[in-house]
Amino acid sequence: MTAGPRATEGLDPRDVLHDVFGFPDFRGRQAEIVEHVTGGGSGLVLMPTGGGKSLCYQVPALVRSGLGVVVSPLIALMEDQVAALRQQGVAAAALHSGLDEDERSRVGRDLANGRLKLLYVSPERLAVEGTAERLARRDLALFAVDEAHCISNWGHNFRADYRGLTMLAERFPHVPRLALTATADARTVDDIREQLSLTEAPVFRGSFDRPNIRIEVAPRDNAAAQIAEFMEEAGDGRGAGIIYCPSRAETERTASRLRREGFDALHYHAGMDAADRRAAERRFASGDPVVMAATIAFGMGIDRPDVRWVAHLSLPGGPESWYQEIGRAGRDGAPARALLLYGAEDIAVARKRIADSPAPESQKRLDHERLDRLVAIVEAATCRRRLLLRCFGDEMERDCGNCDACLRPPRLVDVTEAARKLLSAVHRTGGRFGLNHVVDVLRGNATERVSNFGHDQLSVFGIGKNVAEGAWRGIARQLLARGALAQASETNLPIFAATESARPILRGEEPVVLNAAAMEAAKPRKRQRSSFQPPAASGGDTAAFDVLRAWRKEEATRQSVPAYVIFPDRTLADIAAQRPRTLDDLAMIHGVGASKLDRYGLDVLRVLRDAD
């Protein structure tokens, strides 16, 4: 059965929340925001990924008279949002450059005839001549600017097309404007408010904490082995995973290796053909337990709720981008994992990339600040989540208990003397060599290269033979984190030189402390049982849950929509646990709104009966 759009204007927001979306009540600050916008107010919403930002504009748009317009940066994000709303009986459409002429004409007719309640539009399409004029002829409920940090030069995903949104306040001064983002520091927040004329409007700041995500950081030793171990620990056999890679070539190599090892793995990067990228996105959204090896081009708009883990093979661009990327895991609230692997060369290359950038000095200072904050987090011996959330002005009262520093508190050792030796070796060799060569000198390895340069005759040759090679790498990372070492080459090779910041260390005035684990040879960690428990296992029937997932996959394939827009795993788990026998029983399940009850209710009850 299919249901047509329902009349929602003028209804109580909580009735719309229940009847359309199937949720019993708002959470966090949603109710406060919805009431404010429904009453005609504008504002800025800061909530983490998976915090429920969409409902903050979708419910007011349905309750208020007129059309709700949502500015969104990605075609895939718009299409998935529209698909989900149509499943819930909402008359929604998207307007973007990816539409063919027939589709664009159909959306235009529906817009002109008042048949739409929510219109998603890309910023560049909104700027096309005639679009604003067509909207001006409509009764408008609100404008929602999703991923609002894209409007700011200070934001980590700045998009020039977003600057055109400054016209919203000028052309539509009486229409509420709601800006929403999951990652914005104080400077970005101020810029968003300035650009969208929201300086007098309230800021609704929810907690950025995602306590269900376990955060782990480790020096990169053998990335392939480390990722394999992590995938075994973190995967549940049902959900998906994402591996963020530092280059396009690395995405292809990683996906190819994983396929040889028997994983269902894909790759994704901006250099792919647009059709191939969209095919990869659709495959990821299918509901299958796939692994996506991707650059950050696979970014905003990842709505799949059952991503169980996210791994990074190198340092992200900063705390904001890192937090947004790991936030793609565990959107369903179930336990999820995030792993960041990094090496000394990551820090050196990042510092040099910023230094060589043509960006203005103000932007370079900001980029250096971001990198310094991120390095401080990954080199920390204390709760990482507290440091990460502090970047967003979110102070935790106590340690999180769900990061590697909390779960396995490090033992710290004073490595000041070894650090001085390393800095001396860098200086004595002329600041023209990479870490491998410097370590060979310190450990007394008379390699051909060491001998050719006469470095086996230096006073520092062999003075560090009692320190393991892996320990020297840990010390180098710490010195890079402090800025005592810097990349000095004109190439992208990590060739190090000592800086002015090295002087207090060399003089013995400033101690260097390191995690004791970094002073030891790398050892495989004892494998841990995954913390993930399948949703149905907590009180339901796992067999029924799997049968419902199989039915959902068939239905999603038939409709060519992402599996999770039909029902997310949480809803299927509740159905498996409660075993409803009637449509009235099914209507009480979280996530089963009136439209989905009409569409799928009888099929779900049949699947449950067949599973008995």
Domain harbouring 105, CATH code: 3.40.50.300
Specify the residue for token string 């029924």.
Answer: 544
Q: Mark whether 379 and 425 lie in a shared domain.
A: no
| CB 120 within 8 Å of CB 81 | yes
Q: Mark whether 263 and 319 lie in a shared domain.
A: yes
Residue 519 pLDDT:
61
Q: Mark whether 236 and 194 lie in a shared domain.
A: no
Q: Mark whether 26 and 162 lie in a shared domain.
A: yes
* C-alpha span between 597 and 587 (Å, rounded): 7
**Residue 517 included in any domain:** no
**Residue (of 317, 325, 323, 320) closest to 298 by Cα position:** 325
Residue 92 is inside which H or E element, if any?
strand 92-95
Domain's final residue, options 160, 181, 205: 205
* C-alpha span between 38 and 51 (Å, rounded): 20
The band of 600, judged by pLDDT with boundaries at 50, 70 and 90, is: very high
**Residue 7 included in any domain:** no
Quick: pLDDT tens for 246-271: 999 999 999 999 999 999 999 999 99
Q: Mark whether 227 and 160 lie in a shared domain.
A: no
Q: What is the CATH number of the domain that holds 464?
A: 1.10.10.10
Domain's final residue, options 382, 407, 432: 407
**Residue 8 included in any domain:** no
360: containing domain: 213-407
Domain's final residue, options 205, 227, 260: 205
* C-alpha span between 348 and 161 (Å, rounded): 32
Quick: pLDDT tens for 22-80: 999 999 899 999 999 999 999 999 988 778 899 999 999 999 999 999 999 888 788 88
Q: Mark whether 37 and 123 lie in a shared domain.
A: yes
Residue 16 is inside which H or E element, if any?
helix 13-21
Q: Mark whether 200 and 231 lie in a shared domain.
A: no
Q: What is the mean pLDDT of the chain?
A: 88
Quick: pLDDT tens for 310-333: 999 999 988 988 998 999 999 888
Mean pLDDT score, 351-367: 83
**Residue 281 included in any domain:** yes
Q: Mark whether 447 and 315 lie in a shared domain.
A: no
Predicted confidence (pLDDT) at residue 464 exceeds the cutoff of 80? yes
Better pLDDT: 236 or 83: 83
Q: Roughly how many angstroms between the first and final C-alpha of the chain, as a whole number? A: 24
Residue 43 is inside which H or E element, if any?
strand 43-46
Domain count along the chain: 4
Q: Mark whether 193 and 46 lie in a shared domain.
A: yes
Q: Mark whether 330 and 400 lie in a shared domain.
A: yes
